[in-house]
Amino acid sequence: MRSDVDPEKAVIGAVMLQPSCFYKVQLQPNDFKTPNAARTWSAMLSLVDQGKPIDPVAVEVETNGRVPVDWLLDALGGVPTSENVGYYADLVADDALKRRVLRVAGDMLKRESKELSGQELLRQAQDGLEKLARGVDSKGYYSAREIAKEIFDGLDSGESARGLMTGVEEWDRYAEMDLGDTMILGGDTSMGKSQVLGWMRARYIERGERVLLLSTESKRKKVGRRDLSYLTGINSRVIKTYNFDRMQLSQFGDGISRYSDWPFWVNDQIYDVDEACQFIRFMMAREGVTVVEVDHLHELTAQGITNPQERVGYCIERLAQTAQHGNGVYMQVASQLTQEASREKRVARMSDLYYSGRIRQIAQVVLMITRLAKYTNKANPGEIIFRWEKVRDGETGMDTWRWSDTNGLLLGPKSTYYSRECYGPEATQ
């Protein structure tokens, strides 16, 4: 290749010379430095979408004459063959990356030293560079050799044995999830969905996960009281009133200390789903979040979508897409029923969700939650029925669990008590 060849014009010339090689190039208009090249590539993207030919005349028309034919003909005549289009494209991509790195550095240099602390400047620089790194690493496709290497590398890191586990066998045999998967917890109002989310996150944190809760229903202090109830064994109502006896006061102090060390964050201010997804990606990069809980789905809004079914479906799809961002997170979403199973006094099913068709396609795990005592006085008020409607890689089934009468800890189907102090179960009488 001649040393004076412009890589940007070479990519454009190669594509006009052989339009089929357009699909060998993964570039966006903002990857091009010169205005003519950026406008030309944007026009080419549009022409391909419309099924129109890519040639100098068509591009000039598509750009409304902003890119002259002479410039396009010069690009076309500057490349003898389209065979090297991948090489030219790599040069363009690398130059674009260099400009973005320098832009991040320049933004840091422009800030006055008194405006931000050194730690804040460092965090902003890291955020910017991590974003660029994710863009470079995530080409979107991988060869069998690359996949095999990732799997083999997991042998040393222990990654293959990780998964998302609570350590409770009766639960984990159903709730099997991989990074990027989405779980839906469906149930009528006042079924205990928030308590189940709280029980799960406490177990996950004990096993090393980093959890983000988007709470559209409960404010952060209410969430904190529930979590402290799990850690201390003190009823959350007692914690709310601070009406402790001497022993409870000691337990409360110990619980506060342990809770302060949790890798756990709550956002109780976001309601727009697109804003929520942007924040999730931010927390994945900033804090290394691995589990995201959304409580409740029906409280989320979506700009421009007023129809409830369309809005809920859109929200689910956006959250599921975000779960697969980067290395992925485990996404768990609580959702209310739109028709009450109480009319038949029965266990809720996935078909009770009016958007169940989209759920069936999107979610990897669907768990329906029912407390029959809400509907009939013949049922045990402490019982909660878990109906696993969909588990893509595991078992489906139904179990009856119980809540303890103090702090809401779950009691399993075999009357096994899942202690706050250990990963495994402790049998009780």
Q: 18: which DSSP letter? A: S
pLDDT at 424: 29
How far is 275 from 69, CA to CA, in rounded Å?
42
Q: Which residues pair with 401 in a beta bridge?
A: 384
Q: Which amino acid is located at 104 in the chain?
A: V
- Residue type (1 letter), 130: E
pLDDT for 327 equals 81
Cα–Cα nearest to 349, from 316, 379, 375, 387? 387
DSSP string across 256-304: HHHHHT--EEEE-S--BHHHHHHHHHHHHHHH---EEEEE-GGG-B-TT
**Dist CA 57 CA 70 (whole Å):** 10
| Per-residue confidence (pLDDT) for residue 127, from 0 to 100 | 65
Task: Check the CA dihedral 18-21-22-25 and report its sign.
Answer: negative
What domains, with CATH codes, occur in the chain? 1-141 (1.10.860.10), 163-427 (3.40.50.300)
| Spatial contact of 203 and 386, defined as CB atoms under 8 Å apart | no
How many other CB atoms sit within 10 Å of the CB of residue 364?
Answer: 21
In sequence order, the 6+-apart residues with CB closer than 8 A to the CB of 50 are none
Q: Phi-psi region for residue 123, left (φ > 0), alpha (ψ -120 to 50) or beta?
A: alpha
pLDDT of the residue at 264: 92
Closest CA to 215 of 192, 237, 198, 232: 198
Q: Tell whether pTM > 0.75.
A: no
How far apart, in whole angstroms, are the C-alpha atoms of residue 205 and residue 259? 10
| 402/294 Cα distance (integer angstroms) | 23
Q: If you search the block for the tokens 């890291």, which residue do you land on?
A: 126
Q: Are 228 and 254 in contact (CB under 8 A)?
A: no
C-alpha span between 329 and 324 (Å, rounded): 7
Mean pLDDT of successive 10-residue stretches along the chain, which has 429 residues: 75 91 86 93 89 90 92 90 89 88 75 62 66 54 66 59 76 85 89 88 91 90 88 86 89 90 91 89 87 90 82 89 88 82 76 77 90 81 86 81 61 46 29
Amino acid at 152: F
Distance of CA 91 to the CA centre of its chain: 32
pLDDT score, position 310: 83
CA-angle at 310, arms to 306 and 312, nearest 5°: 95
Predicted confidence at residue 197, as pLDDT, reads 92
pLDDT in tens, 106-116: 776 666 555 66
Inter-residue contact 347 to 368 (CB < 8 Å) = yes
